[in-house]
Structure 1
Amino acid sequence: MSDKAELALVSDFLAECLPFDSLDPQTLEDVARQLRIKYVRRHHRFSAMDGDGLYILRSGVVDEQQESGLLQRFESGESFSLNGHSRDGEVTQSRYFVAIEDCLIYRLPDDALRSLRRQHRHIDRFFHARSERLLRRAARFRGQPSFLMQPVTSVMSQQPLEVAPETSIAQTAQAMTERRVSSAFVTRDETLLGIVTDRDLRSRVLALGLSPDQTVASIMTENPCALASDATLFDAVLEMTNRGVHHLPVLGEAKQLLGVLTTSDVNVAREDDPIYFVQRVSRLSSLTALQEQLARLPNLFRQWVEADTPVTQITQMTTAVSDALTRRLIDLAEQSLGPAPCDYCWLGFGSQARGEQLLGGDQDNGLLIDNSATDDDMAWFAKLADFVCAGLNDCGYDYCPGDVMAKSEKWRKRAADWEAMVDGWMTSPSASAVMHISIFFDLRAIAGSRSLAEALQQHMLAHSQRNTIFLAALAENVLASSPPLSMFGRFLLERSGEHQHSLDLKKRGVLPVIELARLHSLANGIPAVNTHKRLQALARAGQMSLADSRNLEDAFTLINGIRLQQQAAQIAAGDEPDNYCDPRQLTRLQRSHLKQAFRVVHQAEDIIKLRYRAGN
């Protein structure tokens, strides 16, 4: 292949294909030059006559089969080999490849592939790695999440006040007042000589009775500590802490003054830090102030996603925000209603309980009240629940359409009544009971007496382990929300409605993993609620292989990661975030990874079918 225009097109195509996406442009062009173009018709069965090396599908579909049936399907952008360079590193003579559609193929000859693998270790590792390892790398990629990792140039104050060394102290102070700044930089010919701050004017002029007519050079701090333009906010905070200063000049490559970073600038940037955000929620004293603070959450969420913050950290941070808001609303309610008449526990259900909240969800909560509560006490808790649920709704956590909220009497009970309701669900696991179980069995104490929640959870675990009919009903529920991938490796899209031609990444992506982890945990008495912790605990208990546990964790992380990216893009476009994804908007690599994640979940569901049979 030698035509420059064609080489450019092929190089661009390879740049979106695993593992070539990691190669530099010149290497991609070198690879493109060595490719051989091959066209095969539908039903063509590949053999040694087609040539050795790696087959990269430009268009069409190829199935890998054996006597027992389909093994896997390859689509545009994916590759396979007839002679031992299969992606999972396995070679089985009984396997063969058949074109399901007319195909255009780029073939990289064996010698060229071997040379490429020798020169690039990560390419060699790719062809030795199993597909689940590829998924793991995709799921666990992370960037720099902290607000402290942003460059100082994005935070600093630009156009700092500059004065000549011969400028008088009085003139400098007047200029600082007019500009309303707390520092001035002494420069000559764009070279920084020193800095003068408000503190210098107090301690070096007023305190010592120095004449304001003297030059500013006589009181300046010479050769002040400065930051390079590529420094991060972390570097700045470290310098400020170590040197005890509040102003740091920022210099360009030619040592010219670009700006100044002050502690005030750091504090403004810190407002976007999740820890600061949560602390502020915990201190606000009115519903209006809480609403204003929570209105900033979507853009803050988008910044976390764009900073490549790990998925699990983002879900933990958004959950921490809703936890803090709930606790603050409870505090405000108790200030109005007076102290609680007896012990109680505010329960979070579902994603809040698991620490896996994103944006756009509604509230799922309940009130667990000590058995000593009188009827008058229950009236106080009704007022508490109304106040908190209304506050959550006003701050963006919508009322639950199914009324699974503490303001509903059904979800506001004494401990004994909670246990009786749970026992009824497990004794007669109807469709509605299973739906309630899927929400309620993921519970966590948000505020109040944690021991009440722990006792209720232990009651549930003790009864669920012995109830095979209950577990079978839960298993049916798990299998009802299978990932949207056909047996031929095609996405199964929504067929109608507002989200036609899209994937529901919540209901058909993350929910199947959540539900199967919950089922296994209940069956084995594992108290963990978070999905990752459940999968890890199952592996430690020997109830799931370490490989299966890790693969499910990676699948869960990857699907949630794509979901996060979609929501961040919707926020940036000014739209309401939802859980739907048009796979046509994903890159080829993302589609490939998403399909592999769905396959992992399908395999895990096969185990559910075998292990939890009705009545056994």
Structure 2
Amino acid sequence: MKTNVIAGRVKEFLIQFPPFLFLNDEDLNKLALHVEIVFYKKGEIIFKEKNLPKNHFYVLRKGSVKLTANSELMDICDEGDIFGIRSLIVKKPYIATAICDEDAIVYLISHEIFEPILKGNPEVSMFFAAGFAAGKTIFRNEIETDVSLNTLAIKSFGQSGLTGLNRIPEKSRKVYCFPDWTIQQAAEKMKSENVGSIIVVDKNMLPLGIITDKDFRTKIGTGIVEISATVANIMSFPVSCIKQNPTLNEVMLVFMKKNFHHLCITGDGTGNSPLLGVISDHDLLVEQGDNPAFLIKKVRKSVSISDLTDARNSLEKLTADYLEKDVSIDYVAEISSEIEEAILHKIFEFSLEEMQSEGFLEPPCQFVWLALGSQGRREQLLRTDQDNAILYEEEGIENKEYFLKLAIKISEGLNQIGFEKCPADIMGSNPKWCLSLAEWKGVFSKWINSSSTSSILNSTIFFDFSPVYGNTELAEQLKEHIFEHTSENEVFLSKLAVNALSSPPPLSFFRNILLEKDGDHKDMFDIKARAMVPLADLARLLTIYHKIPETTNTYQRFEKIKLHEKEQSLFEDAAIAYKFLMKIRTTQGIAEQTDGRFINPKTLDKLRRQVLKNIFETISELQALVKVRFRTSMLT
């Protein structure tokens, strides 16, 4: 066994790997100067389980080291992996034996040198607290911590995405008038202040209404209202309000969802507290040049499918820009969903006009278009296959013929802007999925009561529906029917649980990520089937079990489920894990112009690969919980 220290080369190696890449130059130099380099032969034991820890831990420079416990393989360390640190930090015996699987060069780092660096660097502490060193989690069981496993993982390399939380600067002035002012007085005030709107307030400064330039054009310029009348005659009310000091994200989403152009800032975000300021969509253009509120305006002004295709391309560029700037993925998904829905609304507008030109007047009854799959969960960030259905109010042959014809036009419009038709034909243009409310209730009742394999599969696909156009009350009635018939049906829940356990965590015996063995995607990782679908299935199952109908979104489901469970940190991990997977898939899809489903693990750095492994541990824990709770062993 020979030793040697070459500080420069040691530093060059360490800086490539977490947590050393988080260190400043001074700390790196200090470590490199004190590293001992050791050569071990194949079969040589570095340390044994149950022995007390030495005063250093290990970083594998070259070769391979196996970690075994009770003669069973725990892990295999490769270049850059850290091992032997858990026992050193918690001052307990080694939980594993480290044995060289082949000749190895190992760096020995003194605990005395490293401990002050660990305590003084939060990112390094988070790395170890999250259990990213080889072997078991370091802090989660032995040391109290309020930070969840995957939260630490994601924060440790910038995935938290705080860019979208920038605050809107406070406005130093607010232009207002009182209800007894004449329209002429208000106009003169707007002119002198050089503004395009004025807020009407009461004597306590509570906002009552708003007057804009548009009101003067449509109500005064046309002679509908005399200029000598009071402002109460032309103001729009009630006003839309938002709380003091809002973020760009919060304001953006309100403008997009409600198609407003002005928001009143009040202390509590309602009209029951005094006016503090006003935000307009123009303010957003100043704060953030190319923004989604501007893009959604372009969508609403589109006059052709070609315009919508351009808007969808712009959305993809905006998404890529947001990901590059590390904006939180849940905000990106929310923005994307709003713009996608605006695009769908335009496609409906075009299709309904076309129906009228063909002699079909108004829809024969109330209806709603249901998005399924990732769009139904408001998680669609890439152009994937279409998954949708139509629900209409009243049965009848003529009604079905009308809505099938409409669905065909909608599906074609979506196809033209880049959403391919579903290979399994799960679309509203298929007569099987274009049904009245009574028929849909019957279909779901049949699936729930039969609990066959095909029925369970259909339930997982269709349960995640979300209304995106039409009468949303119809969708709510269907959802109530589903929850009423599923939440108390133990057989159905157990079968749904078995389905949620059908994809075990994708780690091999050697703790490597399982890859595709053949086909076009050989040696690639299927992030959808092996990681995202298992989490989505578990979230759906527990949502039904706890009777939580408010959302179909996977990470939002986990955040609500945790309020009903004892192991809250596990569900926090699951929510953030799903966001991480969404970000990985979306980034890959945009870069390769694919649906991002298949990932080459070699394109992921060591930390991201380890985060994936930790996510698989979270999936495993959730599946173990479900297996016990729903007694699935009795059904398999």
**Shorter-chain TM-score category?**
0.7 to 0.9
Q: Which amino acid letter does the alignment assign opposite residue 552 of structure 1?
A: A
Contact 1:147/1:272, CA 8 A, preserved across alignment: no
Query: What is the aligned partner in structure 2 of residue 245 from structure 1?
Result: none
Q: Which amino acid letter does the alignment assign opposite residue 21 of structure 2?
A: D
Contact 1:147/1:269, CA 8 A, preserved across alignment: no
Query: What is the aligned partner in structure 1 of residue 527 from structure 2?
Result: 505
Asked which structure has the greater RCO (Cα within 8 Å, sep 6+), the reply is 1
Distance 2:108 2:625 in 1: 38
Contact 1:426/1:470, CA 8 A, preserved across alignment: yes
Identity of aligned residues (%): 27
Query: What is the aligned partner in structure 2 of residue 107 from structure 1?
Result: 108
In the TM superposition, what is the alpha-carbon distance from 1:99 to its structure 2 partner? 2.1
Q: Describe the SS at the equivalent of 1:452.
A: helix
Q: Which amino acid letter does the alignment assign opposite residue 29 of structure 2?
A: E
Q: Describe the SS at the equivalent of 1:295.
A: helix
Distance 2:125 2:162 in 1: 28
Distance 2:428 2:126 in 1: 53
Distance 1:537 1:49 in 2: 43
Q: How does 1:561-572 map to 2 (within 5 A)?
A: 561-570=583-592
In the TM superposition, what is the alpha-carbon distance from 1:376 to its structure 2 partner? 1.8
Corresponding position: 1:363 with 2:386: yes
Q: Describe the SS at the equivalent of 1:357.
A: coil
Contact 2:53/2:87, CA 8 A, preserved across alignment: no
Q: Describe the SS at the equivalent of 1:313.
A: helix
Q: Which amino acid letter does the alignment assign opposite residue 302 of structure 1?
A: A
Q: Describe the SS at the equivalent of 2:107.
A: strand
Distance 2:457 2:482 in 1: 16
Q: Describe the SS at the equivalent of 1:289.
A: helix
Query: What is the aligned partner in structure 2 of residue 537 from structure 1?
Result: 560
Q: Which amino acid letter does the alignment assign opposite residue 324 of structure 2?
A: E
Query: What is the aligned partner in structure 1 of residue 475 from structure 2?
Result: 453
Distance 2:453 2:503 in 1: 14
2:608 is matched with which residue: 590, 595, 609? 590
2:625 is matched with which residue: 592, 607, 611? 607
Label 1:100 to 1:479 Cα distance change in 2 as closer, same or farther (>3 A): farther
Query: What is the aligned partner in structure 1 of residue 377 from structure 2?
Result: 354
Unaligned runs of 5+ in 2: 131-138, 141-146, 168-247, 249-280
Label 1:85 to 1:278 Cα distance change in 2 as closer, same or farther (>3 A): farther
Q: Deviations over 1:107-152 (max 9, x none)?
A: 1012212243355455456545646745313325344645999xxx
Distance 2:4 2:92 in 1: 36
Q: TM-score, normalised by structure 1?
A: 0.73
Query: What is the aligned partner in structure 1 of residue 236 from structure 2?
Result: none
In the TM superposition, what is the alpha-carbon distance from 1:552 to its structure 2 partner? 0.8
Query: What is the aligned partner in structure 1 of residue 430 from structure 2?
Result: 408
Distance 2:289 2:350 in 1: 23
Q: Deviations over 1:423-472 (max 9, x none)?
A: 11122233332222111010111111111111111111121122223223
Q: Describe the SS at the equivalent of 1:55.
A: strand
Shifted more, 356-365 versus 460-469: the winner is: 460-469
Shifted more, 21-30 versus 579-588: the winner is: 21-30
2:150 is matched with which residue: 115, 135, 143? 135
Contact 2:66/2:101, CA 8 A, preserved across alignment: no
Q: Which has the larger radius of gyration?
A: 1
Contact 2:4/2:38, CA 8 A, preserved across alignment: no
Distance 1:519 1:532 in 2: 13
In the TM superposition, what is the alpha-carbon distance from 1:611 to its structure 2 partner? 2.1
Distance 1:381 1:454 in 2: 20
Q: How does 1:106-505 map to 2 (within 5 A)?
A: 106-117=107-118, 119-120=120-121, 122-124=123-125, 126-127=127-128, 130=139, 133=148, 135-140=150-155, 141-143=159-161, 145=163, 272-336=290-354, 337=356, 338-371=361-394, 373-505=395-527
Q: TM-score, normalised by structure 2?
A: 0.71
Unaligned runs of 5+ in 1: 150-233, 235-262
Query: What is the aligned partner in structure 1 of residue 210 from structure 2?
Result: none
Corresponding position: 1:25 with 2:25: yes
Distance 1:357 1:83 in 2: 40
Q: Which amino acid letter does the alignment assign opposite residue 7 of structure 2?
A: L
Contact 1:64/1:95, CA 8 A, preserved across alignment: no
Contact 1:52/1:83, CA 8 A, preserved across alignment: no
Q: Which amino acid letter does the alignment assign opposite residue 352 of structure 1?
A: Q
Q: Which amino acid letter does the alignment assign opposite residue 114 of structure 1?
A: E
CA RMSD of aligned residues (A): 3.1
Query: What is the aligned partner in structure 2 of residue 182 from structure 1?
Result: none
Distance 2:479 2:489 in 1: 16
Contact 1:558/1:597, CA 8 A, preserved across alignment: no
Label 1:82 to 1:317 Cα distance change in 2 as closer, same or farther (>3 A): closer
Name the count of aligned residue pairs: 493
Q: Which amino acid letter does the alignment assign opposite residue 556 of structure 2?
A: K
In the TM superposition, what is the alpha-carbon distance from 1:579 to its structure 2 partner? 1.5
Distance 1:456 1:77 in 2: 54
Distance 1:50 1:42 in 2: 20
Q: Deviations over 1:255-289 (max 9, x none)?
A: xxxxxxxx99x969967422222232123122222
